[in-house]
Structure 1
Amino acid sequence: MAQPWVNGGATGQLNSIELSLVMLGLCLAVFLTGMDQTILATATPIISNEFNALDDIAWWSNAYLLTLSSFQLFYGKLYSLFSIKLVYLTAIALFEVGSLICTTAPNSVALIIGRAIAGLGAAGVFSGGILITTMLIPLSRRAAYLGVMSGAFGLAAIIGPFLGGALTDRTTWRWCFGINLPLGAVTIILCAVLVHTPKQSDIQAIGLVDKFKQLDIPGTVCMVGSLICLLMALQWGGSTYPWNSSRVIVLFVVFGVLLILFLVSQATSITGKSRTIPVSVLRNRDIWLAASYAMCITGGVYVAILYLPVWFQAVRGSSAFSSGTLLTPLIGGYVVASIIAGGVTSAIGYYNPGLIIGTILSIAGAALITTINMDSSISKIIGYQLLYGFGVGFGFGQPSYVVQTLLPPSDVPVGVTFITLMQNLSASIFVAVGQSILQGELRSRLKPVLPDVDIQSLLDSGAENFGSTLAPEDRQKAIAVYSKCLILTLYISLALSCVSVFGAMGIRWHSMKKTNDQTTDDSANRPSGEQGISVARDDGDHVQIPPSDKETLEGAK
């Protein structure tokens, strides 16, 4: 029997078989939500045709990503105050409810609502899986396991477009969401039986009333409201309404006001416990650099995943299934690189090489992708995507390791969800920016080329049938313009890859294989009263036990 791990005030015993089964359950849950993020990539054009809602394309992804982003920190508080397993299973159940609504959606509005509910559940799944590993696996070995989890997420992302294309071509797009229902039922059963987290004595000591006080409901309301206003302003600006329209301006103003109220609520909180974002996160420059890196890498790859299949179908004439095939190199490169990066990081004990390699490869790959055109060969399209996917895979998981290495155990749940928030918020923002650029550029560029054509009617025809009602000569002109506008959105991926340089080079080097001296140094940066003591495990690793966990502290002594 393996020796118990001591981590964050919790202890647990797992042999190799039990740990493998737990990881299987966690990977299944990650697979479920990961597939849901990309399964629409190839189905979107068909849905836009059925609902006659080309302008809603981004919202079918954004509604999911919006709630996925907005409630990350709230889940961080939930995981800090309640049973991790209970919160985790509740999140999966919410995801299933949203999937059911999407499956039966009669119109675009219902689909958007279902996606929002599914995102609300998915917000707690990936971060919850990470938190379970922090309680069961020592820090020095954790990167390898999390690399496998990231690989499972990427594998789902590969299968998603294929499955979405196959279901859309051969049955109906509704099965893109319906397939989550039986798979989710299996996942809930497996997680309920296999996932066992140690008793958290520090959580059990807090009364229910005090727990709800620490949830920071006012702060969460302000944060969620501000994000909704920001996303709506980005979605509407330059496409549905001009940037200087009163509606867009009001949304930006309300976003700013609510954001200020959120920051004030954090600054004036009577106790640090009731803050959504703890002081250890706010005052650590490496955490913020890691968050900026996560935003850049994630935002860029989501833009590419959403708009490349549209380019394949509308410009190259590919079917939904074929466009999924053509997207495989990007996501496949991500999967392979995620697993390699996890192993390398675990072996050398530093996350910085993965950050740097990820930036270099993603810049090179994104730059090459922006050079594709209607005449580009398949080999170039595949090679460019593969290079970019390798870059994203090397860098994607590293910010989470930064948080787990630098933060005190009591703040790791919020820290992990903070990084996940930055990743998903970035995806929401930059997908909306991409949609705004696409719609605005299409309108401005199509009008002089096709002066006698109703541009709005053309845009409402759907991506797959774009220009199908035009004469052959006009249709060719329209597709050429569409191609240029779609490629413009991919410059977002390039710009974000370039900006990730600041995070990759600015994050200081800290070993994940802590020694006594390193642990002492780290504790010096923590808030007073949280230093605890350094305890050596049988495997040679050290952990910091906060003095608030009296039971574990006494046992360690």
Structure 2
Amino acid sequence: MNETTSNEDSSAHFDHPTGLRLYVVFLALALSVLIVGLDASIIATATPRITDTFSSLSDVGWYGSSYLLTACTCQLAYGRVYQLCSIKWVFMSAVLIFEVGSLITALAPTSSAVIVGRAISGLGFAGIGTGSLIIIAYAVPLQRRAFFTGIIGAMEGIGFIVGPLLGGVLTTRLSWRWCFWINLPVGAITAIVIGFFFRPPRQQPTPTFTQDLKEFDWLGTFTCVPSILCLLLALQWGGSKYQWHDFRIILLFVLFGLLLIAFTAVQRFSKATATISSRIARSRSILFGASFAFSLSAALAIFSYYLPLWFQGIKNASAEASGVMLLPVILGMIVGSIVAGSIVTYIGYYLPFMVLSGILTPIAAGLFTSLSVNSPKSVWIGYSALAGFGAGLGFQQPILAAQTVLDQDDVAMGTSIMIFAQTLAGAIFVLIQNLKKEVPQINPDLVLEIGATNLRAAIPAQLLDAVLKAYNKAITRTFYAAVAMSALAFVLSFGMELKSTKKVAHDFRRQFSPCEEASVYAIPM
């Protein structure tokens, strides 16, 4: 009798929960991902009311970017913490941090307090996104995991699209503060469910808190976090607050490069405590998977930012209506994620969906470049659905690849790396947006200042047609970047190893005694 069989027999003496308990945990994780998706996008409709409350027009950019800054900079550090500490308690701590940030934002007496609250929420978001997928990795066998990760990805997409719609309703009928109050009960439910129903496996002997502190990569964190922070601040300020050739922007880029080199050196020489161990760094699937995730997420960020601007400026849609018009992208992505997850669960191979995603997404991005002022509804709906479906097919596959090719001890960091790549791409390609001057008679900053929804009211009638065409040209040009990034994802997919979730001996139960297995492991057939 082999070791796995023996463990399964022995585990029969322990009271494992039924399949219902698994789905209760999964529902809690889905809710947690939903609220962070909501929080990432709901700020768009809350911002005008916040600026009205505090007369803080100069702070507008920070309401969204402070969230992205902390979410990106702390992502890899969370991966290391999840490796060293109890998964359950780290996840619950991340939920608590997110809740504290939401509470501060909801009660904020000043604009600065809103920014601080958003930054704290972003710190919690970084741990929730990674932690939900790590808990799934411990709760669901690898061969069935694709479907569950697909649903998690779909829930984040739902949150992203519902955010502006819900934000519009709350700010109109109640107050912008309710955009953040709603996070509190959902987060509380998530923490309670995970606390009572999920018991992660523990290695023997259990390391002490002091040992965990010694094994944490402090030097790596102190070089990685400011490195990413310098990059994102340079992109946030460049071309807006300061010119790109300003010494402050140049200094930030130089510091980013130097700190990145320092972080790489620390990882190379701090083998025992390195955030990214050499065995992870040498993995072909991790390198190409993270690059694929970055490229595909960059294309998605371009879609999600510029399509609403096109709807508002060209189709004269309100901010709320433009969120509705983005539904084909989100619904397509949800369907793509679920379809890919279901089929991967059945066949075991995730690579074909990365390749297919790399084919369909650049085609859709290319079609977006052909949009005109007179494009009918059927055209942009079809293009949007194709873009979402193509991206959805490949979005979760790098995470599944990391959990397939890595040893159990490295799954937390591998998952964190993939989410870091996705988050960083979204932050970069949103922060560097810029609209060029196309009509000599129009102030180059006019469109950005008055907003896309007020375009027709602010432009003289004799110039409106020319301005709309110029605006359309400026927006559709940005989709060439999406073509390039998604096409790069196609190329990168061929660097992945051809692995099957059904053939890889990657069962977490083999490394732990039966009584220490994840207690939600039992799944009904």
TM-score by length of structure 1 reads 0.84
Would the alpha carbon gap of residues 218 and 475 (structure 1) be closer, same or farther in structure 2, given more than 3 Å must change? farther
Letter in 2 for 1:396: F
Counterparts of 1:261-410 in structure 2, within 5 Å, are 261-269=262-270, 272-410=271-409
Distance 1:264 1:134, change over 3 A: same
Residue type matched to 1:383 in 2?
Answer: G
Contact 1:154-1:331 within 8 A present in 2 as well? yes
1:299-345 superposed Cα distances (whole Å, 9 cap, x missing partner): 21122212322332233221222111101000011111111111101
Distance 1:379 1:169 in 2: 30
Alignment map for 1:188-203 (pairs within 5 Å): 188-194=191-197, 196-202=198-204
Shift of the alpha carbon at 1:293? 0.7
| Equivalent position of 1:533 in the other structure | none
Of 397-406 and 364-373, the range deviating more from structure 2: 364-373
AA of the residue aligned to 1:449: Q
- Residues in 2 aligned to 1:28 and 1:544: alpha-carbon distance in whole angstroms: 27
State the alpha-carbon separation in 2 of the partners of residues 307 and 109 from structure 1.
28
Letter in 2 for 1:291: A
The offset of 1:112, in angstroms, is 3.3
- Output the CA distance in 2 between the equivalents of 1:463 and 1:104: 30
Q: Distance in 1 between the 2:56 and 2:472 partners?
A: 20
Partner of residue 250, structure 1:
251
Confirm or deny: 8 A CA contact 2:138 2:508 kept in the other structure.
no
Q: Residue 91 of structure 1 aligns with which residue?
A: 94
Give matches, 1:17-56, under 5 Å: 17-41=20-44
Letter in 2 for 1:253: V
Deviations along 1:220-261, whole A, 9 cap, x unmatched? 121111111111112222333222221111111111111111
In structure 2, stretches of 5+ residues that fail to align are 1-5, 518-525
Match of 2:105 in 1: 102
1:445 CA displacement:
3.3
1:7-18 mapped onto 2 (5 Å cutoff): 13-18=16-21
Query: CA 1:460–1:141 in structure 2 vs 1: closer, same or farther (change >3 Å)?
Result: same
- For the residues of structure 1 that align with 2:312 and 2:371, how far apart are their CA atoms? 15
What SS is found at the alignment partner of 1:193? helix
User: Is 1:500 paired with 2:502?
Assistant: no
In the other structure, the counterpart of 1:153 is: 156
Please, which runs of 5 or more residues in structure 1 have no aligned partner?
Answer: 520-540
**Match for residue 128 of structure 2?**
125
Query: 1:157 corresponds to which letter in structure 2?
Result: F
Q: What is aligned with 1:179?
A: 182
| Cα 1:484/1:106, change in 2 over 3 Å | farther
Distance 1:544 1:100, change over 3 A: closer
Tell me the CA shift for residue 117 of structure 1: 1.3
| Partner secondary structure for residue 380 of structure 1 | helix
Aligned partner of residue 265 in structure 2, secondary structure: helix
Alignment of 1:76 with 2:79, yes or no, is: yes
Please tell me whether the aligned partners of residues 360 and 386 of structure 2 are also in contact (alpha carbons under 8 angstroms): yes
3-state SS of 2:411 partner:
helix
Amino acid at match of 2:489: S
Distance 1:249 1:323, change over 3 A: same
Residues 56 and 426 (structure 1), Cα distance of their counterparts in 2 relative to 1, 3 Å cut: farther
Partner of 2:441: 449
Distance 2:508 2:387 in 1: 36
2: CA distance, partners of 1:424 / 1:12: 39
Whether the aligned pair in 2 keeps the contact of 1:12 and 1:197 (CA below 8 Å) is: no
Change in Cα spacing, 1:59 to 1:467, as seen in structure 2 (3 Å) is farther
SS at match of 1:124: helix
TM-superposed deviation, 1:19: 1.1
Q: Secondary structure at the match of 1:465?
A: helix
Contact 1:313–1:320 (CA under 8 A) maintained in structure 2? yes
Residue of structure 2 equivalent to 1:163: 166
Seen in structure 2, the aligned counterparts of structure 1 residues 428 and 205 have a Cα distance that, compared at 3 Å, is same
C-alpha deviation, 1:29, in angstroms = 1.0
Pick closer, same or farther for the CA change 1:369–1:254 going to 2, 3 Å.
same
CA–CA separation in structure 2 for the residues paired with 1:487 and 1:255: 31
3-state SS of paired residue (2:317): coil
Secondary structure of the residue aligned to 2:453 is: coil
Q: Paired residue for 2:419?
A: 420
- Name the stretch that deviates more: 385-394 or 91-100: 91-100
Cα distance between partner residues in 1 of 2:452 and 2:8:
53
With over 3 angstroms needed to count, the CA separation of the structure-2 counterparts of 1:363 and 1:106, relative to structure 1, is: farther
2:139 matches 1:140: no
Scaled by the length of structure 2, the TM-score of the pair is 0.88
Aligned counterparts of 1:181 and 1:544: Cα–Cα separation in 2: 34
1:153 maps to a residue whose letter is E
**Closer, same or farther in 2 for the Cα pair 1:338/1:362, shift >3 Å?**
same
Contact 2:32 2:186 in 1 (8 A): no
Letter in 1 for 2:208: G
- 1:209-228 map, 5 Å: 209-228=210-229
How far apart in 2 are the matches of 1:168 and 1:511? 48
Measured at CA, do residues 174 and 380 of structure 1 come closer, stay the same or move farther in structure 2, by a change above 3 Å? farther
Contact 1:337–1:393 (8 Å) recurs in 2: yes
Contact 2:299 2:483 in 1 (8 A): yes
**In the alignment, residue 243 of structure 1 is paired with which amino acid?**
W
Does the CA contact (< 8 Å) of 2:28 and 2:189 recur in 1? no
Residues 174 and 374 (structure 1), Cα distance of their counterparts in 2 relative to 1, 3 Å cut: farther
| CA displacement at 1:68 relative to structure 2 | 1.4
Deviates more, 1:46-55 or 1:220-229: 46-55
* CA distance in structure 1 between the partners assigned to 2:311 and 2:53 by the alignment: 20
Q: 1:297 Cα shift?
A: 1.3
Shift of 1:88: 0.6
Shift of 1:375: 1.6
How many residues are treated as equivalent by the alignment?
509
Give the 3-state SS of the residue equivalent to 2:267 in structure 1.
Answer: helix
Q: 1:53 to 1:384 in 2, by over 3 A?
A: farther
CA contact (8 A) 1:545 1:553 kept: no
**Equivalent in the alignment of 1:524:** none
Deviation per CA, 1:157-184, whole angstroms, max 9, x where unpaired?
2322321233344444443333222332
Task: Measure, in 1, the Cα distance between the counterparts of 2:160 and 2:286.
Answer: 27
How far apart in 2 are the matches of 1:84 and 1:483? 48
Shift of 1:127: 1.4
Whole-Å Cα distance in 1 between the matches of residues 48 and 372 of structure 2? 20
Residue 489 (structure 1) aligns with: 478
Segment drifting more, 120-129 vs 302-311: 302-311
| Displacement after TM superposition at 1:469 (Å) | 4.3
**Deviations for 1:403-441, whole angstroms, at most 9, x for unmatched residues?**
1111011111111111111110111111112x2x33xx2
CA–CA distance in 2 between the matches of 1:496 and 1:161?
26
Distance 2:383 2:27 in 1: 32
Deviations 1:259-293 (A, max 9, x none): 11111111121xx3310101121011111100011
1:535 match = none
1:554–1:417 CA distance, 2 compared to 1 (3 A): closer
In structure 1, distance between residues paired with 2:49 and 2:315: 16
Give yes or no for contact 2:7–2:510 (8 Å, CA) kept in 1: no
Structure 1 residue identity aligned to 2:286: I
CA 1:392/1:511 → structure 2, altered by over 3 Å: closer, same or farther?
Answer: same
